[in-house]
């Protein structure tokens, strides 16, 4: 594992970034968190602020000077900063483009200038777009279905070009529907699992867009943290490539709802009486998502430690004790 290194986590106050910071600090690394708190939360990193190995830079990846300062003397960069959410990108494609593409290019340039050993960046399963094949394999992507998906595909193109032109060590990780502790359940762009959990805890009916038969390869956040670290320490044969980070299974939203009701019933009586509401499907949503993780296992040595049900149990336990 990575120990005693100087590491930058962009978006380190976000959901995935803060979980990554926690694990890296546990291994005695010096961790720099770069975040502008547009979507990140101060409460996610509050416990780290007294740690002598943790430093917060409040800044924006759209500012090249900030990126150069943050990457100075750094061994590894984990680039998690992005403006997520397909619906948000449809409503505001300009801001999504600015943060996800221009910000990513700034990080690439800063890593190049400061000779960072390796950059690991967050891509997305959204790049598979309209490609019908299941399970999703890294070599077969379709046309993007949203501005967000476009930005992630452009990230992969830029990473490939920089690795070939400048000899940089870069690895992209295509996240599949990550969930877990510290994921924000509030707001119009909240992910489905934390949003459903909070509504159900409060006795309210969640809304399922479409008929609920759309499938997702839900992935617990600890698996994603592990994949990032494995990508940082992987051999040369793994470099300059993209990998699916998932569990390699799929469940429908209807199945997800049933599992959540079952797990939450241990904490709340009569929760099984709450039935979901259904609404028209949303633009830009992928119908089915199921990852092949064969390549990821072979080249990164990654296997998920936590399956969906175990991850949901851990998530519910966290939300039950942390929701206000």
Say if residues 73 and 7 touch (Cβ distance below 8 Å): no
Cα separation, 27 vs 9, in Å, equals: 15
Spatial neighbors of 169 by CB under 8 A, at least 6 apart, are 117, 118, 119, 163, 239, 240
Q: CA 22 to CA 25: how far, in whole Å?
A: 5
How far does the chain reach from its first CA to its final CA, in angstroms? 35
**CA dihedral defined by 29, 239, 183, 203, rounded to 10 degrees?**
-140
Query: CB–CB of 243/171 below 8 Å?
Result: yes
Q: Which residue has the tokens 């959540």?
A: 260
For residue 40, count CB atoms less than 10 angstroms from its CB and return exposed for 0-12, middle for 13-18, buried for 19 or more. Answer: buried
CA dihedral 95, 97, 101, 102 (to 10 degrees): -50
- Measured between alpha carbons, how far is 150 from 224 in angstroms, rounded to an integer? 22
Give just the sign of the alpha carbon dihedral 38, 85, 105, 70: positive
d(CA 253, CA 45): 31
- Helical axes 147-166 vs 103-113, angle rounded to 10°: 20
Q: Which residues pair with 118 in a beta bridge?
A: 76
Active site amino acids? 148
Contact between 155 and 216 under an 8 Å Cβ cutoff? The reply is: no
């Amino acid at each position: 594992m990575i120990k005693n290194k100087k590491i930058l986590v962009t978006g380190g106050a976000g959901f995935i970034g803060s979980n990554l910071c926690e694990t890296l600090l546990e291994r005695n690394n010096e961790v720099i968190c770069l975040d502008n708190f547009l979507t990140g939360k101060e409460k996610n990193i509050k416990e780290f602020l007294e740690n002598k190995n943790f430093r917060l830079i409040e800044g924006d990846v759209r500012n090249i000077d900030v990126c150069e300062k943050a990457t100075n003397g750094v061994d590894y960069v984990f680039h998690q900063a992005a403006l997520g959410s397909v619906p948000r990108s449809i409503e505001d494609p300009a801001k999504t483009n600015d943060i996800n593409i221009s910000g990513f290019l700034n990080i690439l340039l800063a890593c190049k200038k400061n000779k960072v050993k390796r950059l690991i960046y967050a891509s997305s399963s959204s790049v598979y777009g309209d490609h019908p094949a299941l399970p999703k394999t890294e070599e077969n992507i379709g046309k993007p279905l949203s501005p967000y998906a476009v930005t992630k595909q452009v990230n992969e193109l830029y990473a490939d070009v920089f690795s070939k032109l400048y000899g940089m060590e870069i690895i992209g990780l295509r996240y599949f529907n990550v969930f877990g502790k510290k994921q924000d359940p509030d707001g119009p762009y909240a992910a489905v699992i934390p949003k459903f959990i909070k509504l159900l805890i409060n006795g309210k009916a969640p809304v399922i867009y479409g008929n609920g038969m759309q499938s997702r390869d839900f992935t617990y956040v600890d698996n994603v943290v592990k994949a990032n670290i494995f990508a940082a320490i992987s051999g040369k044969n793994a470099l300059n490539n993209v990998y699916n980070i998932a569990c390699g299974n799929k469940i429908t939203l209807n199945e997800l709802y049933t599992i959540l009701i079952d797990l939450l019933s241990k904490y709340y009586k009569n929760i099984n009486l709450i039935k979901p509401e259904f609404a028209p499907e949303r633009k830009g949503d992928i119908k089915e998502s199921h990852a092949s993780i064969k390549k990821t296992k072979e080249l990164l040595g990654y296997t998920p430690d936590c399956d969906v049900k175990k991850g949901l149990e851990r998530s519910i336990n966290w939300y039950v004790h942390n929701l206000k």
